[in-house]
């Protein structure tokens, strides 16, 4: 063996030895008797949540919005009314503001008269530091009368619209102060929305009892006058949507007189034939200025070839719709067929949702009976029959499975909203309300004695029980229908009406009466057993005057249903009756 003679050769030999040893160490023979080397462990799999379809998102309200509410508290508002700049739309006195009538001939009238106002919030001692408007010396809002039928009452409800520079009160700039003239308890509206707050699949409103003081500088007043107790109710708006965790860029409409059917008023804003005044009689747009999405929904509902369960499912959120319908039925809030609700749809979703509005007429039958008003209501105005005149609801309720699902939802709500829970909450709220309802100025206009009010208050829970029973009764009742205006054809007058509908599928006949008075004391036509939905009367019998007519549907087992028409004559309502004038 040759011996290395220098450092380079010695270093090279050392490197070769190391390489050889490394190969020997890492090399293994391929003999099958050797143990296989374990495969490297697989990387840990990351589990990701499945991508959610926007159209499967329900009414995802952020319920924490209610966490800071104190239902038994009282907030003090101090409002100084001032005349706006000369020639502006607020150049009005407070007397002129209060003169605005927003309801005539049973319909809404767009008649807003505004003035300027300084709005401040405080306590019983006056405006307080750190609260809205404390240092304000110039007006920071407008004021107008709000409400429909209540606008003709001596005590008004008001809307305060804060300027952008005024800031917000509890995240709100549109402050509705409701007097609730037709509610002897003065707490129904708050009860209605507070019971709804924990219910899933639907959004409620924040409410607050308010003591309102007004200083009318347009009349030279220098001190605040006590206007008594009000209930502040949050107004659905873009700010409302944002505050409740909903899409503030979405679509939002307030129903004025909307029956989910197409009309000449329902056009898009860019349509050359769009008429804003006509549209405002049907809906008030509070969100995105684009009506096409709503028009598409209305056309779907009208298309009988489209399954209603595709519409209430794919386009109207089913859980929200069932909850809205069941809650209003259980709370006896029957004035919710064409008004007193909002429609909301997120911008990029095809789903529509109902948002309730105005609950001061809930649980009302006992008070109506005490005040002699039960005759104002038709026998159909309860349970599912109450909604039969709206095409959307009628199509949905004709499906037996849908009625069963609605009944299940009513039962679910009834577990927590019943006689005991309603009475308990009403008594809680009465501790706040009672001192003001039974003192001036509210006691003067209460419309009931203190004892009558106590009776009404104590009976609110029983009204839930009544509403629950009426709902189940309505599932076996004959559904009502509409009568059309009679048509003159030659020497006859032809009376026409819709088909009645029976869930039990019994045969139906009709009785027609025509008289010179709406009480039908001496009918000139009284014919029964009709098996068609029209009947002609000789013109000679009806010539030259106003006539009143009614049609009653009758099943084989004797169940009856009136028409859903209703008229008012000399301040009296006549449910199931209409009128026509026949030329001489």
Judged against a pLDDT cut of 80, whether residue 2 lies above it is answered with: no
User: Model's pTM, two decimal places?
Assistant: 0.88
CA distance 524 to 515: 5
Q: 528 lies in a domain?
A: yes
What's the pLDDT at 538?
A: 96
Q: Give the pLDDT confidence score for residue 472 in this predicted structure.
A: 98
Residue 59 lies in a domain: no
**217, 240, 263: which is the final residue of a domain?**
240
Quote the percentage of the chain above a pLDDT of 70.
90
- Do both 417 and 500 map to the same domain? no
Q: What is the mean pLDDT of residues 357-363?
A: 95
Summarised one tens digit per residue, pLDDT across range 148-159 is: 777 778 999 999
Is 195 inside any structural domain?
A: no
End-to-end CA distance of the chain: 145
Domain contains 332: yes
- Judge if 359 and 316 occupy the same domain: yes
Count the domains in the chain.
3
pLDDT tens digits for range 169-194:
999 999 999 999 999 999 999 999 99
Last residue of a domain, one of 451, 474, 497: 474
Q: What is the pLDDT of residue 475?
A: 97
Report the pLDDT value the prediction gives residue 12, as an integer from 0 to 100: 37
Region 374-399: what's the mean pLDDT?
96
Please check whether residue 141 lies inside any domain of the structure: yes
For residue 321, what pLDDT is reported? 98
> Residue 126 CB: number of other CB atoms within 10 A?
12
Residues 325 and 449 in one domain: yes
Give the domain CATH number at 487.
Answer: 2.60.40.10
247-263: b or e for each residue (b if 16 or more CB lie within 10 Å)?
bbebbbbbbbebbbeee
* Mean pLDDT, rounded, for 268-291: 96
Contact criterion met (CB below 8 Å) for 247 and 241: yes
Q: Does 292 share its domain with 423? A: yes
| Helical (H) or strand (E) element with 575 | strand 572-575
Pair 215, 255 in one domain: no
For 80-136, what is each residue's pLDDT tens digit?
999 999 999 999 999 999 998 866 555 656 678 999 999 999 999 999 999 999 999
Cβ(565)–Cβ(577) under 8 Å?
Answer: yes
403 with 525, same domain? Answer: no
Q: Are residues 100 and 224 in the same domain?
A: yes
Whether the pLDDT of residue 506 is over 90: the answer is yes
Q: Binning pLDDT at 50, 70 and 90, where does residue 9 land? A: very low
285, 406: one domain = yes
User: Is pLDDT above 50 for 23?
Assistant: no
Kindly state whether residue 23 falls inside one of the protein's structural domains. Answer: no
Query: What residues pair up with 141 in beta bridges, in sequence order?
Result: 117, 162
Q: Which residue has the higher pLDDT, 319 or 543?
A: 319
> What are the pLDDT digits (tens) for 420-433?
999 999 999 999 99
Residue 489: domain span: 478-582
Looking at the fold, whether 296 and 210 belong to one and the same domain comes out as no
Instruction: Look at residue 109 in the predicted model and tell me its pLDDT.
Output: 65
CA atoms within 13 A on the CB side of 215: 17
pLDDT (0 to 100) of residue 30: 41
Burial 83-116 (b: 16+ CB within 10 A, else e): bbeeeeebebbbeebbebebeeeeebeeeebbbb
pLDDT over 60 (residue 31)? no
Q: Are residues 139 and 88 in the same domain?
A: yes
> Residue 188: which of 426, 475, 387, 365 has the closest Cα?
426
**What's the mean per-residue pLDDT of the chain?**
91
Q: What residues pair up with 172 in beta bridges, in sequence order?
A: 169
Give domain status of residue 385, yes or no.
Answer: yes
Residues 124 and 167 in one domain: yes
């Amino acid at each position: 063996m040759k011996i290395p003679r220098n450092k380079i050769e010695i270093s090279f030999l050392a490197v070769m030895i190391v390489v050889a040893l490394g190969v020997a160490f890492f090399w293994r023979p391929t003999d099958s008797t050797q143990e296989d080397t374990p495969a490297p462990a697989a990387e840990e799999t990351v589990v990701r949540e499945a991508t959610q379809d926007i159209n499967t998102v329900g009414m995802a309200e952020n319920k924490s919005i209610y966490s800071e509410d104190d239902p038994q508290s009282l907030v003090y508002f101090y409002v100084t009314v001032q005349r706006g700049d000369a020639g502006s739309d607020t150049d009005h006195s407070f007397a002129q503001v209060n003169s605005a009538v927003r309801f005539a001939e049973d319909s809404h009238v767009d008649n807003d008269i505004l003035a300027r106002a300084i709005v401040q919030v405080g306590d019983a001692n006056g405006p307080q530091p750190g609260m809205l408007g404390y240092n304000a010396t110039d007006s920071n809002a407008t004021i107008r009368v709000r409400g429909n039928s209540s606008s003709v009452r001596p005590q008004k409800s008001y809307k305060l619209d804060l300027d952008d520079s005024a800031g917000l009160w509890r995240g709100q700039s549109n402050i509705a102060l409701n007097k609730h003239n037709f509610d002897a308890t003065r707490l129904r509206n708050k009860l209605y929305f507070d019971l709804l707050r924990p219910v899933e699949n639907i959004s409620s409103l924040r409410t607050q009892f308010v003591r309102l003081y007004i200083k009318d500088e347009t009349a030279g007043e220098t001190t605040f006058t006590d206007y008594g107790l009000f209930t502040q109710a949050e107004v659905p708006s873009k700010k409302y949507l944002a505050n409740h965790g909903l899409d503030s860029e979405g679509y939002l409409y307030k129903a004025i007189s909307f029956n989910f059917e197409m009309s000449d008023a329902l056009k898009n804003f860019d349509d050359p034939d769009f008429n804003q005044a006509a549209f405002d009689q049907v809906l008030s747009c509070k969100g995105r200025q684009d009506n096409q999405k709503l028009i598409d929904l209305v056309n779907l509902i009208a298309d009988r070839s489209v399954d209603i369960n595709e519409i209430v499912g794919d386009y109207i959120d089913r859980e929200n719709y069932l909850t809205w319908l069941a809650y209003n039925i259980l709370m006896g809030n029957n004035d919710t067929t064409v008004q007193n609700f909002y429609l909301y749809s997120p911008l990029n979703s095809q789903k529509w949702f109902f948002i309730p509005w105005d609950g001061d007429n809930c649980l009302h039958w006992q008070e109506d009976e005490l005040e002699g008003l039960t005759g104002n209501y038709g026998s159909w105005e309860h349970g599912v029959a109450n909604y039969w005149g709206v095409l959307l609801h009628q199509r949905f309720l004709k499906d037996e499975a849908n009625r069963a699902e609605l009944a299940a939802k009513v039962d679910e709500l009834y577990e927590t909203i019943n006689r005991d829970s309603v009475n308990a909450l009403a008594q809680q709220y009465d501790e706040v309300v009672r001192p003001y309802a039974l003192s001036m100025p509210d006691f003067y206009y209460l419309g009931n004695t203190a004892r009558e009010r106590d009776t009404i208050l104590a009976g609110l829970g029983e009204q839930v029980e009544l509403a629950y029973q009426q709902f189940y009764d309505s599932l076996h009742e004959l559904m009502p229908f509409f009568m059309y205006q009679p048509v003159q054809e030659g020497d006859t007058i032809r009376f026409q009406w819709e088909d009645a509908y029976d869930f039990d599928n019994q045969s139906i006949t009709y009785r027609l009466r025509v008289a010179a008075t709406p009480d039908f004391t001496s009918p000139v036509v009284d014919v029964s057993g009709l098996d068609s939905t029209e009947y002609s009367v000789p013109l000679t019998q009806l010539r030259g005057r106003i006539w009143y007519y009614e049609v009653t549907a009758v099943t084989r087992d004797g169940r009856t249903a009136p028409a859903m028409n209703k008229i008012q004559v000399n301040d009296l309502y006549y449910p199931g009756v209409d009128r026509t004038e026949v030329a001489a």
